[in-house]
Structure 1
Amino acid sequence: MNSSFYLKMAASNLKKNGRLFAPYILMNIGIITMFYIMHAISVNEGLSQMPGAQALSFLLTFGTYVIGIFSAIFIFYTNSFLIKRRKKEIGLYNILGMGKRHIAIMLMLETILIALLCIGLGLISGIALSKLMFLILLKILGFTVALHFSVSLSSVSLTFTFFAIVLLVTLVYNLGHIHLSNPIQLLKGSNVGEREPKVKWIMALLGFITLGIGYFIANTVEAPLQALFTFFIAVVLVMVGTYFIFIAGSIAILKLLKKNKQFYYTITHFTSVSGMIYRMKQNAVGLANICILSTAVLVTLSTTVSLYIGMEDMIDNRFTSDVTISSYLQNSDIQQKVQKLANNAAVDNNVELIDFYQYQTLTSTFVKDGMALKTLDYYNVDSNTVYVLYVTSKDYNQIYNANLSLNDNEVVLVSNNDKFNYPQLLIDSVKFEVVDELDQFADFKKTNDPLNNEMLIIFSNEQVRNQVYSNSSKNDDVEPLSYTSFNINGASSDEIKFNDSLQREINSISQTYMFSKQNTRTDFVSVYGGFFFLGIFLGSLFLMATVMIIYYKQVSEGYDDKLRFEIMQKVGMSVDEIKRTINTQIVMVFFLPLLFAMIHITFAFKVITQLLALFGFSNVPLFILCTFATLLVFAFIYLIVYLLTARTYYKIVK
């Protein structure tokens, strides 16, 4: 047999098994396209011209790695399904006289054809769409960059090499599988697993226990930094629990229903329960994969959309004023110098400064213990650590045009999180009476920021303030920090010019720093816009994988149910009864992963909100809305996929 014969046979096999190979090839093309686009954008020269280029480049490079790792795992997973469905065909070739060496040549040529088709079309579509995707990224970020069409040779080389290796590994796996099997095993390969499964009680029990522990951990975490660590533990436990419940727990429940004779021995329940037992055994891992991928889609999209939409809320929480300038008082005229620079920049850029104020503060760090603030032991920092700012009633009166008068033993407090709620305050054993608690002082306000526990204390005068500071810091060298804050009134373009101009001037002053909403917004857009873009990409990838598993599950169900359909007819069931029974089973099996995914994200809600707090996001109602909207859209797509793949299923059965 010459090489052209094997080539024709390989091409014929791909065509003949089009129902199996077409989705596999399309999926590979889509994954390769996404991989190329992500890497090409990460190395695009235009990226370096954008604000926050370093953060964006890191996010996109990270996305490339995630897509690559996930793609390799998923291609291998779908390939294992394909080779299982083709075992009977390959076994028949072996019995008809083709040696395993000849079969290996045929499989190798099939893999080469698939690789050339997938990598070739994937690169072509990736190159064609990369500019469009970059423009979409620019639109999301709100940036304008001069863009020219180019082909990234490094991206082409990496994409070709990576996926060629992945497909080569699948070929080696297939050849090893065929080599270790005899013809009889191959002929029976696609029918393996038809015996009624036994209940694995220990696995089922472990599944419910690990899932319960995962849910418990996710809902008992109180601090965002703690959530960062416990989230991954909870994820692993929930994933293990999901697999165990689908593999063993579902069969255990169905077997218990089967033991209930009053329930089981009716026409509808008898056929449904017995059929579901076989379905759950054959599809348990696939259903668990669908569940986990569905959860990944929901979490990825809901969080990244929330961060992107909630950027303005995060900026407003961080800044009360449009601009805040901090500087150490190296000399007495630093405040006047900062004010003069701000006024000059305002005149030069045609904007007006409003709500202008300045004040001085000293800072210390303590450990809060009830009503007492104790000197911090730097070797024992915990959640009770509080960052304290000292100001005077003089500053308060100047800012608010008020007439606050305090005795030397009296203070007024402002906390960024929970109120102090004690009548007295002890600062290293020095007692003060708490006259009042305010919600805000200048740009210090209640933010409910779980990462930063801060308190501002208003003293009667500078002498008391400085003495308390010296006692707590064990330092007689008092060097206050000056704050200058104001809002800007003017055209948006003029505000940007003003910020840039003033930033340059402030950078020239030693130990003086400028923070503005405009600059922070630019940084946030770069980071959270990048997250949003990456979330859409990864969400689409996970969705594509979910659709593929669903499709192959339906195809597998169709081939298995074809024989069951004939058996049910032979034992006297009508066509309508059979359709009703099988349809009930398929709907239950199909929507079980979606139901579990909804349960997973419900129990993960608290820990996810804590993780979002690490990014400064505290708008829980917005996150609820984004999660609910994502869930509705995903459920709709899931339903459409079911209806489309169900058509393929019924064609096979008929």
Structure 2
Amino acid sequence: MTLFDLALKNVRRNLKNYGLYIGSTIFSIIIYFTFVTLRYSEDINALAESSQRISSIMNASAFVLMIFVAIFIAYSNSFFMKKRKKEIALYSLMGVRKRSIGWMLFFENMVIGLLSLLVGVALGFLLSQLFLSILLKLMGLEIAMGFAFSLSAVIHTMIVFLIIFFITSLQGYRVIYRFKLVELFHAEKKGEELPRARYFSSIIGVFTLVGAYWLALQDITSSEAWRVLGIATPLVIIGLTVLGSYLLFRSVLVYFLQVLKKRKSFAWKGLNVMTLSQLLYRIRVNARTLTIIATLSATTITAGGAVFGLYYNAEKYVQTNTPFTFMWEGEEQTIDSDVVTFDETIYSKSVRVTYGDREMEYTLLNSTTFVKLAEQLGWENIQEPAEGQVFSIDPFFDERWSTRIDSIQLQNDHYSVAALYTEPVFNVSTMGGNAFILTDQHYDEIATEEQEFQAVQVQDYRNQLELSQELSSKTENFSSAVENYRNTIETSGSTLFVGSFLGLVFLVATGSIIYFKTITEAEEDKAKYAVLHKIGVSKKEMKRSIRHQVGMIFIAPLALGLLHGGVALLAFSELLQVNLWVPILLWMFAYTFIYIIYYFATARSFKQTVLKRL
């Protein structure tokens, strides 16, 4: 039997153990192949200019995914190497040369990699049309895409992953040379010292996280801390968060578990004392792993929640800046009256207003026009300016860095600004963002040339692209809610597509890492559960202990990741001054749901590993 035959036999024998690893790798390959396929897709490249930006997003995302998958595969491979060190030692004890053992491990990993690559590319090819349909749906495009096979995408994907698998195979080849024979035999028995609660570290961990959250939620325009730290502030927040997470798992969690262990009413109930001891015994190693998982979870939740929030509010952004479906400068145009719900001719004047050392151009509207437009847009409690007053419209006003105008001078007359509206009553790109509302009499007294504009509302504005293009070719200074919505939904939809699939890969990777870690520990616990069985402990109690152990490993990083992500998204929504709670909660629910599925799969495998021989 050749080394390659032996490697194939080992792969078949260990296929069940490698199942989740292979499945996670295949999923990563499918996503990467999808991105590369979209990159080489002629249909995507033939889209409009906004879709060309999507190609850049796909390329950048594919690179990030490649780096992350390489780290994940190397990390996962190290777990399986530890699990098989005893087997490797037996080969060496039987007289097999180190070089032969190294080549066998190399062949095994390459076989697993090639198997994953072939299945991943095949499934990626079959699913690429589905993923492309999802992308076009998110972008709001009604385009029939052809089902084409991209040889360039296949070659690109195979080269990238063959390099990754070759490097990880070398990692397996070197195992036999890096450890002594006795170390290989006792690799699975090598444990960690029982950690003791460090009160000082616990206090530092809590204050570090509180400091990171406080800094993240500060107003960047007025915060003294942000002014002192400058552009380094985000890095400081990330550093404090990672350090606080590590100390939380390393010290705070240890302290919490030891407090529970000292409570006799809890500790001596069932197998709780054993469960707590097991968690405390492994906490030193788990602290590093849990910190990585919590950080990855927070990153996924933050990025995904922010992208989903922008997509969720896309129409709101369009309606804010483009309240009327169409607006242009000039005379009326012939439009089918069956689709028109409102049309109005607007007359305005332009003036330059100086306040302080700044001079800006403003649009002037009379109060009659203002009231008519505001009523059409559904404004409530609409008022008109009194004698000597004006109303100000500034859709870009932000009290954090904008200066509010209290009075203005127009052609030697002074007016007090009685009210400020931060929503426009016209399309910003056509008539400008800033405006003053005057009484009809004061408006007529302004000796400035008057301009004529047309404002039109139509039914089902999203599907009026043809009408929008027709009006655009006939008019000047044209703005369209149809075009704005199309551009916004294309950009945010493609970003949501990329963010969602990258988030899924991150989630699969983090869930797999916990799975590998937990199942490795399950192998070490077989003897302990066998002893418990012999002294009469029921399987029901042992299963309960397993659920609690696995649950702690899953719940701790998930809860902290959700907390990190929630604070980050809260800061993001405050920065943009938008309400993102609905999309944030939906995204967190989806993430938690998939994460729970991994918990049940891991707990089930743990039970099968330690209880199948009892």
- Superposition TM-score, scaled by structure 2 size: 0.83
Asked if residue 549 in structure 1 is aligned to residue 513 in structure 2, the reply is: yes
1:13-59 CA-to-partner distances (Å, cap 9, x unmatched) read 22222233122112111111110111111221111333421222222
Which residue of structure 1 lines up, in the alignment, with residue 190 of structure 2?
192
8 Å CA contact 2:7–2:107 kept in 1: the answer is yes
Which residue of structure 2 lines up, in the alignment, with residue 443 of structure 1?
425
Give distance in 2, aligned partners of 1:211 and 1:551. Answer: 27
1:496-535 CA-to-partner distances (Å, cap 9, x unmatched) read 22321222244xxxxx632210110110111011122112
Query: Aligned pair in 2 of structure 1 residues 362, 138: CA closer, same or farther (>3 Å)?
Result: same
Please give the secondary structure, in 2, of the residue aligned with 1:390: strand
Give distance in 2, aligned partners of 1:312 and 1:228. Answer: 32
Per-residue deviation at 1:605? 3.5
Matches within 5 A, 1:151-300: 151-197=149-195, 204=202, 206-222=204-220, 230-231=233-234, 233-255=236-258, 270-300=273-303
Which amino acid is 1:437 matched to?
A
8 Å CA contact 2:347–2:450 kept in 1: the answer is no
8 Å CA contact 2:250–2:287 kept in 1: the answer is yes
- Correspondent of 2:34 among 31, 34, 37: 37
- Correspondent of 2:346 among 345, 349, 357: 357
Q: Percent identity?
A: 24
Give distance in 1, aligned partners of 2:209 and 2:326. Answer: 48
Per-residue deviation at 1:122? 1.4
Which amino acid is 2:494 matched to?
G
Per-residue deviation at 1:544? 1.4
8 Å CA contact 2:392–2:434 kept in 1: the answer is no
Query: Aligned pair in 2 of structure 1 residues 58, 569: CA closer, same or farther (>3 Å)?
Result: same
Give distance in 2, aligned partners of 1:561 and 1:257. Answer: 22
Per-residue deviation at 1:267? 7.2
1:306-358 CA-to-partner distances (Å, cap 9, x unmatched) read 32232211111112222234xxxxxxxxxxxx423x525x3799868603313
Which residue of structure 2 lines up, in the alignment, with residue 109 of structure 1?
107
Give distance in 2, aligned partners of 1:453 and 1:398. Answer: 17
Give distance in 1, aligned partners of 2:127 and 2:86. Answer: 40
Which residue of structure 2 lines up, in the alignment, with residue 62 of structure 1?
60
Query: Aligned pair in 2 of structure 1 residues 239, 321: CA closer, same or farther (>3 Å)?
Result: same
Please give the secondary structure, in 2, of the residue aligned with 1:360: strand
Query: Aligned pair in 2 of structure 1 residues 260, 16: CA closer, same or farther (>3 Å)?
Result: same
Asked if residue 503 in structure 1 is aligned to residue 501 in structure 2, the reply is: no
Which residue of structure 1 lines up, in the alignment, with residue 325 of structure 2?
322
Query: Aligned pair in 2 of structure 1 residues 556, 485: CA closer, same or farther (>3 Å)?
Result: farther
Please give the secondary structure, in 2, of the residue aligned with 1:189: coil
Asked if residue 592 in structure 1 is aligned to residue 544 in structure 2, the reply is: no
Query: Aligned pair in 2 of structure 1 residues 503, 26: CA closer, same or farther (>3 Å)?
Result: same
Give distance in 2, aligned partners of 1:349 and 1:433. Answer: 43
Which residue of structure 2 lines up, in the alignment, with residue 332 of structure 1?
none
Quick check: 228-237 or 205-214, which moved more? Answer: 228-237
Which residue of structure 2 lines up, in the alignment, with residue 649 of structure 1?
606
- Superposition TM-score, scaled by structure 1 size: 0.78
Give distance in 1, aligned partners of 2:546 and 2:422. Answer: 64
Asked if residue 18 in structure 1 is aligned to residue 15 in structure 2, the reply is: yes
Per-residue deviation at 1:260? 7.6
Give distance in 2, aligned partners of 1:106 and 1:422. Answer: 74
Give distance in 2, aligned partners of 1:540 and 1:159. Answer: 19
8 Å CA contact 1:357–1:485 kept in 2: the answer is yes
Per-residue deviation at 1:482? 5.4
Please give the secondary structure, in 2, of the residue aligned with 1:13: helix
Query: Aligned pair in 2 of structure 1 residues 32, 324: CA closer, same or farther (>3 Å)?
Result: same
Query: Aligned pair in 2 of structure 1 residues 184, 203: CA closer, same or farther (>3 Å)?
Result: farther
Which residue of structure 1 lines up, in the alignment, with residue 527 of structure 2?
563
Which residue of structure 2 lines up, in the alignment, with residue 343 of structure 1?
333
Per-residue deviation at 1:105? 0.9
Asked if residue 628 in structure 1 is aligned to residue 585 in structure 2, the reply is: yes
Please give the secondary structure, in 2, of the residue aligned with 1:18: coil
8 Å CA contact 2:351–2:364 kept in 1: the answer is no
8 Å CA contact 2:523–2:610 kept in 1: the answer is yes
Asked if residue 489 in structure 1 is aligned to residue 458 in structure 2, the reply is: yes
Give distance in 1, aligned partners of 2:143 and 2:205. Answer: 52
Which residue of structure 1 lines up, in the alignment, with residue 356 of structure 2?
374
Which residue of structure 2 lines up, in the alignment, with residue 53 of structure 1?
51
8 Å CA contact 2:304–2:503 kept in 1: the answer is yes
Per-residue deviation at 1:120? 1.4
Give distance in 2, aligned partners of 1:638 and 1:206. Answer: 29
Query: Aligned pair in 2 of structure 1 residues 262, 599: CA closer, same or farther (>3 Å)?
Result: same
Per-residue deviation at 1:98? 1.8
Per-residue deviation at 1:119? 1.4
Query: Aligned pair in 2 of structure 1 residues 265, 27: CA closer, same or farther (>3 Å)?
Result: closer
Which residue of structure 2 lines up, in the alignment, with residue 85 of structure 1?
83
8 Å CA contact 2:191–2:282 kept in 1: the answer is no
Query: Aligned pair in 2 of structure 1 residues 160, 236: CA closer, same or farther (>3 Å)?
Result: farther
Query: Aligned pair in 2 of structure 1 residues 214, 414: CA closer, same or farther (>3 Å)?
Result: same
In angstroms, what is the RMSD of aligned CA positions? 4.0
Which amino acid is 2:75 matched to?
Y
Quick check: 281-290 or 554-563, which moved more? Answer: 281-290
Quick check: 81-90 or 296-305, which moved more? Answer: 296-305
Give distance in 1, aligned partners of 2:264 and 2:371. Answer: 79
8 Å CA contact 1:46–1:145 kept in 2: the answer is no
Per-residue deviation at 1:157? 1.9
Which residue of structure 1 lines up, in the alignment, with residue 392 of structure 2?
413
| Stretches of structure 2 lacking an aligned partner (at least 5 in a row) | 374-382
Give distance in 1, aligned partners of 2:491 and 2:291. Answer: 33
Quick check: 397-406 or 188-197, which moved more? Answer: 397-406
8 Å CA contact 1:390–1:458 kept in 2: the answer is no
Which amino acid is 1:80 matched to?
S
Per-residue deviation at 1:391? 4.2
Which amino acid is 2:249 matched to?
F
Please give the secondary structure, in 1, of the residue aligned with 2:457: strand
Give distance in 1, aligned partners of 2:239 and 2:497. Answer: 26
Give distance in 1, aligned partners of 2:385 and 2:510. Answer: 66
Query: Aligned pair in 2 of structure 1 residues 577, 263: CA closer, same or farther (>3 Å)?
Result: closer
Per-residue deviation at 1:444? 5.8
Quick check: 114-123 or 263-272, which moved more? Answer: 263-272
Please give the secondary structure, in 2, of the residue aligned with 1:147: coil
8 Å CA contact 1:291–1:593 kept in 2: the answer is yes
Which residue of structure 1 lines up, in the alignment, with residue 362 of structure 2?
390
Query: Aligned pair in 2 of structure 1 residues 513, 223: CA closer, same or farther (>3 Å)?
Result: farther
Asked if residue 516 in structure 1 is aligned to residue 480 in structure 2, the reply is: yes
Give distance in 2, aligned partners of 1:493 and 1:594. Answer: 39
Per-residue deviation at 1:108? 1.4
Please give the secondary structure, in 2, of the residue aligned with 1:343: coil
Give distance in 2, aligned partners of 1:55 and 1:88. Answer: 52
Matches within 5 A, 1:308-319: 308-319=311-322
Which residue of structure 2 lines up, in the alignment, with residue 328 of structure 1?
none
Give distance in 2, aligned partners of 1:390 and 1:26. Answer: 61
8 Å CA contact 1:396–1:441 kept in 2: the answer is no
Which residue of structure 2 lines up, in the alignment, with residue 5 of structure 1?
2
8 Å CA contact 2:523–2:609 kept in 1: the answer is yes
